[in-house]
Amino acid sequence: MNSKERVLTAISHTEPDRVPIDFGATMETTIHARAYQSLRKNLGLCKGKPLIEMLKTAGFVRPDEEVQRHLHVDVRGVFPNRSYTTGQEERLADEFGIGWRLPDEGGLYYDICSYPMAEMELDDIEQYPFPDPRSHTLFENIDAMLSGICGEEFPVVFDNCFGNGIFQTCNQLMGYDNFLAAMALSEPKADYLMDRILELKMQFWDEVLTRYGDRIDIVKELDDMGSQINLLISPEMYRQLIKPRLKKLVDFIKTKAPHVRMMMHSCGSVRKIIPDLIDCGVEILNPVQYTAADMDPAALKTEFGNDLTFWGGGIDTQKVLPAGTAQEVKDEVKRMLDIFMPGGGYVFAPVHAIQADVPVENMLAMWETVQEHGRY
């Protein structure tokens, strides 16, 4: 069974020969540049090769093909270009005009420092210069990425790096306090902005699937709806305002390309809306943050394992992977495999991208344990 067969079997809820592994097919299953430099050095691979940037504001990079093959990674990803304009004091503005800055000199991550719509009313928002989701610049490197992937050997994930989700992009444009208040007060500008982001996303996926639909197996959308302890908005508000728009987007994607599988990334405690995600047509859930409230992995597998493929949840990336011993990492990975493996419907990855402070020994312990215990 090759990698493509392995992944497609797993997401069809049938047990393949072993658990498929993802490392680098999405922004949330990749690695920070600092940790990756240590990993490449330890493996003795890709010496002198420049790092391939994936998400500048998070410090994430794309693993090299040589490293992915060494680690028996089964999935490959392609990504549109993110564009930034650079200002003073390590400040950036992305294509939506959202401002980012490094909080400390030499810092690891950028934080949002300016919300371009913070003071805008509806008339101003209607005139805002949104980016073009069909811009050639977004796609100028996709052909080269796809040419380096054997479509018969590996499944391809197209990861949407064009902004964020419907909910999160609105928050990042208006500011969280402003947008959440606008939602709660049923202000017309909140509805307009959500509909405008939905429209842009539909245009984006129309362009993607027209150009590359025959090469794509999985499409990934995202919207962080959870904190560590609960949803960011009530389930009722989600169902009234976000769910209908997500369903419209998923229906559009599946009508355009019925063969693609729909992945949704949402961090945190999202158990309360998992049935809604399934109703919307989501087939794959990432990152399965099982340390968040109400996200017990065994309960999730029992309740939703027939409807969802869990993509992630392989090991806690907040405490165990960065701060545990190698043996604690192995024990936790094995525990998660025992929970998620039965019946298929599982692709292994950590709960989120490997962060800058993770020791190489722990990374290797993680992958070695999957190889040893991840066979059916």
Which residues share a beta bridge with 101? Answer: 91, 111
pLDDT for 103 beyond 80: yes
Give the contacts of 324 (CB within 8 A, at least 6 positions apart): 332, 362
What phi-psi label fits residue 303: left (phi over 0), alpha (psi between -120 and 50 degrees) or beta?
alpha
Angstrom distance (rounded) from CA 263 to CA 279: 13
Cβ atoms of 195 and 166 closer than 8 Å: no
**Do the beta carbons of residue 199 and residue 256 sit within 8 Å?**
no
Cα 276 to chain centroid distance, Å, stands at 19
Cα gap 317→295, rounded to integer Å:
15
> Which tens digit of pLDDT belongs to each residue from 24-75?
999 999 999 999 999 999 999 999 999 999 999 999 999 999 999 999 999 9
Residue 311 pLDDT > 70: yes
- pLDDT for position 251: 98
Interatomic CA distance for residues 376 and 191, integer angstroms: 48
Give the three-state DSSP class for 166. helix
- Integer Cα distance of 140 and 161 in angstroms: 14
- Which CATH number does the domain 3-82+117-373 belong to among 1.20.1050.10, 3.20.20.70, 3.40.50.300, 3.20.20.210? 3.20.20.210
pLDDT of 52 reads: 93
pLDDT in tens, 232-263: 999 999 999 999 999 999 999 999 999 999 99
pLDDT of residue 162: 86
Average pLDDT, the chain: 96
Give the predicted TM-score (pTM) of the model: 0.97
- Three-state secondary structure call for residue 323: helix
pLDDT at 89 over 70: no
From CA 27, how far away is CA 44, in angstroms rounded? 24
pLDDT band at 338 (very low <50, low <70, confident <90, very high): very high
pLDDT for 87: 73
| Segments making up each domain of the chain, as ranges | 3-82+117-373
Backbone angles phi, psi at 249, to 5 degrees: -65, -45
